[in-house]
Structure 1
Amino acid sequence: MRRKLPLLVMMLVVLVAVTPVLASRVAQEEGVVTFAAGDSVKIGLATDLSNLIPAPGQDIANGAQLAVDEFNEAGGLQGFTVELVVEDDRCVGEDATSVANLFVSDPHIVGVVGHVCSGASIPASEVYQEARIPMVSPSSTAGAFTARGLDVANRVAFNDNIQGVVAARFIFSELGAQRIAVLHDNTSYGEGLASTVAATFEELGGEVITFEVVDPEEQDFRPVLTVLAGQEPDLIYLGGYEAQAALIVQQMAEVGLEDTIFFSDDGVYTATYLELAGDASEGTYVTFGAQVGDPEANEAFDERYEEKFGVAPDELGPFHAQAYDAATVILKALEAVATVDDAGNLSVDREALIEAVRTTEDLEGLSGLITCDENGDCGSATIAVFVAEGGEWVEVEVPEELQVSSES
């Protein structure tokens, strides 16, 4: 006959089984993440790998991965390996919220590089704010992203409140446009940037003849462009991304807008846009954050990147330096707050990590000097302008007085 375990033994078995779980829950409730020897410290990375900007999205993942790999090669976090967990949010708000909840459900994820698109970062940041997980976006430029008082939301990218002002000033003063049409894709990024351009242009004395949404899922923009052709704008500005822009510039020539200047943003500053638009890209303009980091450091990074991934970073996208820097901000903050006890367990206080990220100061990044302000804006405030010439982006001079940074 089978003997039954005494009640006391059964209780001990249950207690042993649940103790690690209970301990973990207590640590989470106290805001401290503890890693046993052999555990990996995880950083999430949310990017777009399959929708609006898959090539730039992969470029961002690559840049951050290189930072983590080099950190581990140098000894890791007090001997603990750091792991980058990459998820695809497709630059869509609902998907981004799902990815954020997935990251939050893993107690070993202590920070997030991302998200990539502003329309993804803004809803995701609400999830991280509640969970107390700091995020550093390499590329979310919408003014609203850091304007909501969230202490977990940071970026090393520039701010569209600056990008839009400099773009409008350049359009008015350097290109001599007096009447412009402003289009946007109805995203937090595109609409916000387009609104800043339109408002600034009108303040300068220019006329915005239309401010209109263009569906990014649309393939035929001729109906909208035909109406614009009758209004004879000097320039068309688009707040949006590469695929939509390529179609618009190709179709502009078909409706009589071949002599109208096309001007866009960092979402169009890609090699993919140049390839998709072909000859129609010639003479089109975009803005991007000025790369003011050390040229030798960037050249060395480019070589390491190409050696590891088999492609030059600029062939995929423009935000690889910012991705490397975003990961580095989190890694440096982890170094500042992580502790190891006598048993060899590593602990990370979430609140201390949030503060360490936000108080980053004078960090020499690939994209420039990184210092976070009280809102979480950590990157360069200098904006560059590029024109497409012969299938390449060529930087053009922006007078210092057009820069917002010159006013401080």
Structure 2
Amino acid sequence: MQKFKSLRFLLLVALLAIAISPVAAQDDEATVTVAPDDPITIVVATDLTGPIAEFGLDIAQAVEVAVAEINDAGGIDGHQIELITEDDRCSGDEATTVANRVVSNPQVVAVVGHICSGATTAASDVYEEARIPMMSPSATAAGVTERGLDVVNRVAFRDDVQGVVDANYMYKVLGLTKIAVMHDNDTYGLGLAEVVRDTFTELGGEVVAFEGISVDDQDYRSVLTPLVTESPEAIYFGGYVQQAVLLVPQMQDVGLGDVIFFSDDGVYGEAFIEGAADAAEGAYASFAETPETDPERLENFDSTYEEMFGVAPEDLGPFHYHAYDSAKMILAAIEAVAEPQDDGSLVIDREALVAAVRGTADYDGLTGTLTCDDKGDCGAGYIAINTVEDGAWVAVEVPEDLVAPEAMATEAAQ
């Protein structure tokens, strides 16, 4: 009996040791060691099968261009870059699943992404705990960088800037005084719609309706029809292209064909024009201005992208330059902190990498000169307004006093 108790005790100790060991190992994972002939692993997390899959594919492919450049030049300290692509479907739940899968791989050192604001917010909590820095090319919701997480960074502009510019353009340039505002009830669309509503009202305009829609629906006529009697001069939509291509023709169906459709960077792309067809004509959407960097660099990127993937980047989505810069900034930070060892291996300290990404300053990117502030906002440039003319997006002139980010952000905060 005594021998049985002893064996049971030893078995209990062994089981406890197994249970405790993952926690102890997690505490020891302050560094990543890349073996002599192994690659450095990063992830791009984007939408490949969800509501903005074309935008997401554009981002993933732009990151591949950045990685290929580094690898063709010999990698980092002789180590190639391995890129793992993850599909989060622009969903918070899917993004959490993806993030947990990413952090379960002890060799992953950084993430480019996520693409949508809700997905980025959900995933970032997982990365914060694992100390894996991320750089989003496209998550524009103001709250993404307002939660005090030091792993969260973005090249994308902020919606509290975009929304203020959009409202000012409608009121001051288009001369509109009465609009309806719609949104997709998501972190991105709702947050942007609220900024537009509040700013337009503060300017002296009237918002006759503020309506949310379900992204699972295909018919929005029941929401649009009551707006006919309100006689809005424009409908502003905060959301993504999948809903926009349904809303625009359905506006015509219910008698709102002469009402301006105005939207955001989630709609600005060829997919909207293709999906809405003739109904897209005259619509507006905001996005970052065309970069004023070296035109030759932009042309080289475009030609390399098209050579690699057989499609021009602008045919898929608008965030390819932002995605390229996001990847190159992360890779530059990895190179800055990676410590080569005598045996040819490479040691990357996670905390040093988190600090190096956040500490990016005066980076010469395709989208401008990029410097991350203490919240992780690293973007450059102003907001541009575009309209569909003859089946193509055309940038319109925006008064200078409407597009300065500092002035707009200050106004939005007041």
Three-state SS of the structure 2 residue aligned to 1:374 is coil
Cα distance in 1 between the residues matched to 2:41 and 2:26 = 16
Cα distance in 1 between the residues matched to 2:172 and 2:406 = 16
**What residue is the counterpart of 2:28 in the other structure?**
29
Q: Judge conservation of contact 1:290–1:380 (CA < 8 Å) in 2.
A: no
**What residue is the counterpart of 1:324 in the other structure?**
324
Alignment of 1:81 with 2:80, yes or no, is yes
Cα distance in 2 between the residues matched to 1:272 and 1:169 = 26
Cα distance, 1:267–1:125 mapped onto 2, change above 3 Å: same
TM-score (norm. length: structure 2): 0.91
Cα distance in 1 between the residues matched to 2:328 and 2:123 = 21
Alignment of 1:221 with 2:259, yes or no, is no
**What residue is the counterpart of 2:8 in the other structure?**
none
**Percent identity over paired residues:** 54
**What residue is the counterpart of 1:210 in the other structure?**
209
Cα distance in 2 between the residues matched to 1:151 and 1:194 = 27
Amino acid at match of 2:405: S
Please state how far the C-alpha of 1:28 moved relative to its aligned partner. Answer: 6.2
Please state how far the C-alpha of 1:294 moved relative to its aligned partner. Answer: 2.6
**What residue is the counterpart of 2:341 in the other structure?**
341
TM-score (norm. length: structure 1): 0.92
**What residue is the counterpart of 2:7 in the other structure?**
none
Stretches of structure 1 that go unaligned for 5 or more consecutive residues are 1-21
Stretches of structure 2 that go unaligned for 5 or more consecutive residues are 1-20
1:379-405 superposed Cα distances (whole Å, 9 cap, x missing partner) = 125100000011110000110111243
Q: Judge conservation of contact 1:34–1:347 (CA < 8 Å) in 2.
A: yes
Please state how far the C-alpha of 1:320 moved relative to its aligned partner. Answer: 0.6
Q: Judge conservation of contact 1:184–1:239 (CA < 8 Å) in 2.
A: yes
**What residue is the counterpart of 1:116 in the other structure?**
115
Q: Judge conservation of contact 1:291–1:368 (CA < 8 Å) in 2.
A: no
Q: Judge conservation of contact 2:368–2:381 (CA < 8 Å) in 1.
A: no
Cα distance in 1 between the residues matched to 2:290 and 2:356 = 25
**What residue is the counterpart of 1:306 in the other structure?**
306
Three-state SS of the structure 2 residue aligned to 1:233 is coil
**What residue is the counterpart of 2:288 in the other structure?**
289
**What residue is the counterpart of 2:13 in the other structure?**
none
Three-state SS of the structure 2 residue aligned to 1:386 is strand
Alignment of 1:364 with 2:364, yes or no, is yes
The number of residues matched between the two structures is 387
Three-state SS of the structure 2 residue aligned to 1:238 is strand
Please state how far the C-alpha of 1:341 moved relative to its aligned partner. Answer: 1.3
Amino acid at match of 1:197: V
Three-state SS of the structure 2 residue aligned to 1:189 is helix
Q: Judge conservation of contact 1:179–1:206 (CA < 8 Å) in 2.
A: yes
**What residue is the counterpart of 1:6 in the other structure?**
none
Please state how far the C-alpha of 1:26 moved relative to its aligned partner. Answer: 5.5
**What residue is the counterpart of 1:159 in the other structure?**
158
1:114-150 superposed Cα distances (whole Å, 9 cap, x missing partner) = 0000010001000000000000001000001001110
Cα distance in 2 between the residues matched to 1:41 and 1:300 = 26
Q: Aligned-residue CA RMSD in angstroms?
A: 1.6
Cα distance in 2 between the residues matched to 1:50 and 1:94 = 14
Three-state SS of the structure 2 residue aligned to 1:236 is strand
**What residue is the counterpart of 1:137 in the other structure?**
136
Cα distance in 2 between the residues matched to 1:307 and 1:274 = 25
